Every structure is written in structure tokens, then in C-alpha cells.
Amino acid sequence: MKWKLSVLCLLCASVCVKVCVGEEEEEEDRTPVEMHGMVTSPLYPKPYPGNVYVEWELAVPKGYRIQLSFTHLDIEPSDDCYYDSLMVIYDQKVLWKFCGQANSADGNHPGNEAILAPGNRLRLIFQTDEGNPGLHKPLGFSLFYQAVDVDECKEGEEVGKTPPCAQLCLNTLGSYYCSCHHGYDLRADQRTCTPSCHGGEFRELQGTLSSPGYPEPSPHGLQCIYNITVDPGYLITLNFSRDFHIEHIQDHQPSCLYHWLQVTIPGREPLKLCGGESPGLLHTGSHWAELEYHTDWAGLSRGWRLHYTTQRVRCDIPNGIVNGHVTPSLPEYLYKDYIYVRCETGYKLMKEGKEIPKFGSMCQSNGQWHNSLPECHIIDCGDPMHLMNGNITFISEVKENQYRSVIEYRCNEPYYSFDKNYKEVQLTCEADRKWKQASNDVIPVCVPVCGRPKHLLRSSQRIFHGELAKRGEFPWQVLLNAGGRGGAFVIAPQWILTAAHNLMNVEKQEIKLRVGSIVVDELLKTRPLEVDSVHIHPNYIGTSGGRKDFDNDIALIKLVNPITFGEDIMPLCLPRPDSQYPTGKLGSVSGFGVDEKGSVLNELRYVRLPLVDQAKCRASIDAQKSVASDISDFTDNMFCAGFPEGSKDTCQGDSGGAYVLQEGDSYWAAGIVSWGISCGKADVYGVYTRVAQYLDWLTKTMEQNV
């Protein structure tokens, strides 16, 4: 069998060898291929007839040879088997021509040994002449054929033949393949071997590479590829050993003409190395490098060796964070390092105009941070809570609602003041974004200051005629119109106090309350205060059934909207539980009522009247009662004020106004103008509702109608 390897075969792997074997012979004939079979002469085991010519074509699979084993051969012997014979033909040539009998010198008997054909096909021809003269009638032949594997390896060792493999040959059924000793690789021809490059892929973060066989000189005909590929976050550095030698040709340009080590780094010109000097350190700046070592079939290179290491990619040092800092603080930041940014107290993290709860960023393989740095912005406490009837001023240099800003709350003095004992309250914008007081957290409220008019009456005044009031002297005064003209007074932002008799049989909508001026014409130009509800003392009787009973002549009016106090409007203080009514003490009464001539006033007037002893007052009223019958009883819920000589008094139209007493520098509502027999008479006093008797009722009513 011949070996012919097609061009195709050179390129393919060793498994292919089988397919390629004996391709040439293909399609020559269609003889059935068998692994074994029998062939006998005609009529066997009876003697064969004369004048026969029989042909057999035998075939076994490619890669095998045919082996013939005769079980019997008995053919008329003749010289050169001239008359009768069995011919074995291979490839148009007669290999053997058999005749004769076993153990006979005549003819050419194959003997008992099996005979091996040189290929996988044979032609057998059995031919005889007309007859056999002798007594013995030969029987012909019987043979067994089978496919026998060719040991191509052994055959190659025979003298004068080319061994099929350069190093190791391994026979297989119907074929063979070549392999190499350790340290060598099979070349593409599937036959010859080359020293192993130990090349391929290097994926570790460090490693060692050297030329094949190093430190022995490099073999010829090398084409070694080394591919170093690591995680993209690492940069490769090659460190060549000092012993470096690659043949270089002095006379040629370029000198690395036949032997070279080419280093390829992405984005750079490939670098061809040769000569006797080590390149030393080579920073590739890349996570990928390819080395190709080439030797041709001549020359000498003693080889090379290198150790490669990797360094993590470096990211910029993150800085420039104003009012914040980066943790951890490192001298350099490398691939996969993680940083956080924290702002100083009072600052918040901002990114792209939005506040973020926290910030972290990682150094990426491309040397960039995966998250761009945030900024630290000062925190903002927002607008401080509005202070009703007060205002807010910045007392810090920075007039914004930001960290460490300080504001001051002040009530609108002198008409309002804090409900506690302080004049101003300072708040600081703290890191938790809240306005906080240094001492306590209660935001104070501004409460109206009562009974402290801007202009105090000159108490030295000893003239007791009715006087024109000045602006701001009786700022609690209310002009009441409810059927007729009356008085009332402010005691709280939403509460007006008056006499019950002013409001009897009057609808809520008919009640017109006006404040803020001492001139009636001016007042009538203003919108009346809107009434929410009316609360007449439940025990007030008044003038019903022809009887007069002015006990409990007190009523409260609740306003829809609170009044804002100022110079012209201010509440009057209520009595304190321990307030006294000392006889002879001067109080003041103001009103828009009628004067002594009986004409309705256009301007607020007032009189100053002393408190009268209760017994004296009762006696005066009892005296009147003896003359007139329709006079109310005098009770402990009332008091009198006035002069025994008369002339100055409160009168119609003043009803419901306040009788005020001064205590310290403020006025309190001691009485409500209630009733009298007639105005300005001698020995007759004006009667007032004693407000101090009604503290409980007032408090309760106001609390229940918030």
C-alpha cells in the first residue's frame, strides 16, 4: 500500500489521516468490500473440471491488507504451473502462481503458512487445460481470506523507506498517527515535530515566559505566539531578564530580519526585538499584549526569558470637594477602590441639582470613577415659622435660612408681647435643618397687651367735667349699634364685652360693632366687625313683664375674625381674681353717649368717677325706690360710681362701655355701664356691672367658644 497525502490532508488534523489513505485507488471497481471470505475452485471438494477459467476479485477495507490462508490446494502440478494454476494478481502483476500438492516437490504449493498481499485488493484466476492424464484427479483449492491491519509504523522502519512519523508512530486498525516527545509539538504536516513554544494564553496576573528550550539556544523554525490577557483593570509590565539574545543581522535594515520577538500592544506599532541586549522593563499600559517569537531555519538565538507583572489602573485623586471630604483618604486610588463623600456638618450632598442621601464611587478599569463627584451645599432650614403679631429679623450676618443663620422673633411691641417672660427669642438653623432655640424648643406666641394705651390719662387732673378723649386713650372703646347707640369694649382679639341690656331682642345681624377711632363719623365709614355669636348672661332678666331687674347685665360677643391691635385698638384687661374696688378710687368711663344737653356725641368723651361705698349706693337706690316703683334691685353684682353732687355721670348711649380702674400702668375693666335713675342728678349714682363677679362665666364662655 502506498501513502499519498493530498494537499487537503496537510491542513487537517491527524484524525483525518484515515480518510486520506489511498484516495487514488478510489472508484476503480465496485468489488464488494469484506473483512473475510472463502474462495473454492469449481465443484470443490470434487475434482475440478477441465478447461475452466474463473476470476475472483477480492477486496477488504482500505488501510488493511488481504491475507490468504489455504485450507487445501491440490492442482495438477506442472513446470511453472503451466497447465493448471491459481494466480494471485495484485495491481496487474502476478504475485504468485500456485499448483501441486502439499509436501510434494512438484509444482508450487503455498504451504501452510498464511500469505499476505501488499494491498487491500487481489484478483484470483483459476485456469485448467482439457484434462488430467493421471489416475489422481486433483480437487482444486479452498482458501480463506481476511483483512489484516497494516502496521504502517513497522513498515516505515524497513531499510530504504521514509519513516511515516518523525518521532513517534502509533499504529491503529487500518491507519496510524504521529506524535511527538514531551516538549515538542506536532507540526501542521502531522508528521514532523517542533520544540514546544509553551505559548498560548496567559491569564494570570503575573507569570513567566521564555523561549523554547531556554536556556538552551532556540530551535529553528519556531513560530511561537504568547497572548497575555488580564482583567481590563490591570496594566501589564514585561521585565526581560538580562540574558537576552536573538540573532540580529548587522548589515541589514531592519536588523531583526530572520529571528525576532515581536511585541504587539493595542494602539501601538508592533515592536520587533533582537540583538544581545535585554530590553529590560517594558510598560505596556495595556491589559493585553501579544508576543510572537520567530526563528527561521538557520542562525543562532540563545533565547530570552521574561517575568510579567500587572499593576492596577489608577484613577485621579478625587479632590476639590468644598465643605466635604472623601473617605478613605489614600495617596493613590486604584482599580476597584471604593470611595465615599461626606459633607461637613451643616452641608448636604448634591448631585445634578438634586440632594442625594449618600455617595459612593468606584475606580473603574478605564481609570475613570464610575460616578462623578457630588457637591456639598449648605443646608437650609426653610422659612421659619411665622410669628403671629410679631416679626422675624436675621441677626446673623447671612440673611438666609441656612445653616448657622440666627433669627430673632419679636412681638409687635407695645401691643403684643410674648406669653412668657422674655422680650425676644433667638433661633439658630441647626444641622438637622430645624430652627432651634438655645434654651427651649417651645416657639412662643405673641399675646395682646391689655389695658396699656399709648396715652395714659394724666391722673393729676382734678377737673371732672366730661372731657374729649384723645386718640389712643381708650383704645378698647367700641361703638355699638344694636337698635340704638351703645358702648362695648374689646377684651380679646375675638371678644367684645358689653351690657346684656344692649342686646335684648336684637338679631345677631343687627349688631354693628366698630373700632379704631374716637370720631363717630370716621367710625361709621368703617366696616363693622363681623359677629360670630352672642352670649348674654343666662341669668339676666332686664325689663320683662313691667319689672326691672338689671342683675347680671353682662354679655359677650364673639367676632368672626380676630382684631389686630395697635395704637387705636387694644384690649382692656379683665379683673384679676384678687382685684379690689376701693371706695373713692377714681375710675374712667368713656362713651359716645349723649351729653348733659341730651345731644348725641360725635366724639368720644370720658369722665372720671370715684367708686362709691356699696351701702351708700344701696341707700341712695332704696331712697329712689320709695318714689318710683320700676327700679331694679341693687345686688352684689353691681357697684356705683359718681359724685354725690352729681353733674358728671354716664348716660344713655354709654351703656355697655367700660368703667376702668388703673393698676400700675394698665387699666382693667372694673365695670360695665349698666343703668341709672337719671343722668347727672345729685345723690344718684351710675350703676355698673361688677365684672370681677363674672370671671368664671367669662373664662368658661370664651373657652367653650373658641
Ligand X SMILES: *[C@@H]1O[C@H](CO)[C@@H](O)[C@H](O)[C@H]1NC(C)=O
Answer whether 124's CB lies under 8 Å from 115's CB.
no
The least CB distance from residue 169 to ligand X, in Å, is 32
Return d(Cα 228, Cα 307) in angstroms, integer. Answer: 12
The least CB distance from residue 410 to ligand X, in Å, is 6
Q: Which of 501, 551, 588, 590 is catalytic?
A: 501
Which residue number, 416 or 476, has a Cβ lying nearer to ligand X? Answer: 416
Taking the alpha carbons of 450, 453, 454, 460 in that order, is the dihedral positive or negative? negative
329 is catalytic: no
The least CB distance from residue 225 to ligand X, in Å, is 6
**DSSP at 255:** S
Answer whether 99's CB lies under 8 Å from 125's CB.
no
The least CB distance from residue 392 to ligand X, in Å, is 7
Is 6 an interacting residue with respect to ligand X (CB under 6 A)? no
Which residue number, 282 or 376, has a Cβ lying nearer to ligand X? Answer: 282
Q: Cell for 55?
A: 476470476
Q: Residue ranges of the alpha helices (H) in 187-304?
A: none
Which residue number, 2 or 423, has a Cβ lying nearer to ligand X? Answer: 423
Return d(Cα 605, Cα 469) in angstroms, integer. Answer: 5
Nearest to residue 594, comparing CAs of 678, 515, 492?
678
Answer whether 630's CB lies under 8 Å from 681's CB.
no
Which residue number, 307 or 618, has a Cβ lying nearer to ligand X? Answer: 307
Instruction: Tell me how far apart the terminal alpha carbons of the chain are, to the nearest angstrom.
Output: 123
- Cα 416 to chain centroid distance, Å, stands at 50
User: What SS3 state is found at 540?
Assistant: coil
DSSP string covering 280-319: -EEE--SSEEEEEEE--SSS---B-EEEEEEEE-EE----
The least CB distance from residue 257 to ligand X, in Å, is 23
36 is catalytic: no
622 is catalytic: no
- Taking residues 599 to 638 in sequence order and writing x for each that binds ligand X by CB under 6 A, - otherwise, the string is ----------------------------------------
Which residue number, 308 or 335, has a Cβ lying nearer to ligand X? Answer: 308
User: What SS3 state is found at 157?
Assistant: helix
Return d(Cα 372, Cα 321) in angstroms, integer. Answer: 12
Is 229 an interacting residue with respect to ligand X (CB under 6 A)? yes
**DSSP at 691:** G
The least CB distance from residue 401 to ligand X, in Å, is 15
The least CB distance from residue 593 to ligand X, in Å, is 38
Return d(Cα 86, Cα 497) in angstroms, integer. Answer: 156
Q: Cell for 517?
A: 377711632
The least CB distance from residue 667 to ligand X, in Å, is 25
The least CB distance from residue 89 to ligand X, in Å, is 55
Which residue number, 201 or 613, has a Cβ lying nearer to ligand X? Answer: 201
Return d(Cα 75, Cα 81) in angstroms, integer. Answer: 9
Buried b (16+ CB within 10 A) or exposed e, 574-608: bbeeebebeeeebbbbbbbbbeeeeeebeebbbbb
The least CB distance from residue 274 to ligand X, in Å, is 20
User: What SS3 state is found at 416?
Assistant: strand
Single residue of 40, 67, 127, 241 touching ligand X by CB under 6 A: 241
User: What SS3 state is found at 349?
Assistant: strand
- Taking residues 379 to 398 in sequence order and writing x for each that binds ligand X by CB under 6 A, - otherwise, the string is ------------x-x-----
Residues in the chain: 706
Single residue of 14, 31, 127, 227 touching ligand X by CB under 6 A: 227
Nearest to residue 62, comparing CAs of 191, 179, 173, 190?
173
Which residue number, 387 or 469, has a Cβ lying nearer to ligand X? Answer: 387
Which residue number, 208 or 544, has a Cβ lying nearer to ligand X? Answer: 208
Is 533 an interacting residue with respect to ligand X (CB under 6 A)? no
Q: Which of 85, 218, 655, 674 is catalytic?
A: 655
Total number of residues binding ligand X (CB under 6 A)?
11
Query: Among residue numbers 315 through 354, which ones bind ligand X (CB under 6 A)?
Result: none
Q: Cell for 690?
A: 361688677
The least CB distance from residue 414 to ligand X, in Å, is 11
Q: Which of 74, 551, 553, 649 is catalytic?
A: 553
Which residue number, 243 or 595, has a Cβ lying nearer to ligand X? Answer: 243
Cα dist from 97 to 75, 89, 110, 153, 527, whole Å: 11, 9, 9, 30, 151
Single residue of 239, 368, 396, 652 touching ligand X by CB under 6 A: 239
Nearest to residue 174, comparing CAs of 147, 201, 193, 195?
147
Which residue number, 196 or 239, has a Cβ lying nearer to ligand X? Answer: 239
- Taking residues 269 to 308 in sequence order and writing x for each that binds ligand X by CB under 6 A, - otherwise, the string is ------------x--------x----------------x-
Which residue number, 112 or 208, has a Cβ lying nearer to ligand X? Answer: 208
Buried b (16+ CB within 10 A) or exposed e, 139-178: bbbbbebbbbebebbebeeeeeeeebbbeebebeebbbbb
Nearest to residue 39, comparing CAs of 141, 137, 148?
141
Residues in contact with ligand X by the rule CB under 6 A = 201, 227, 229, 239, 241, 281, 290, 307, 391, 393, 410
Which residues belong to the active site? 501, 553, 655
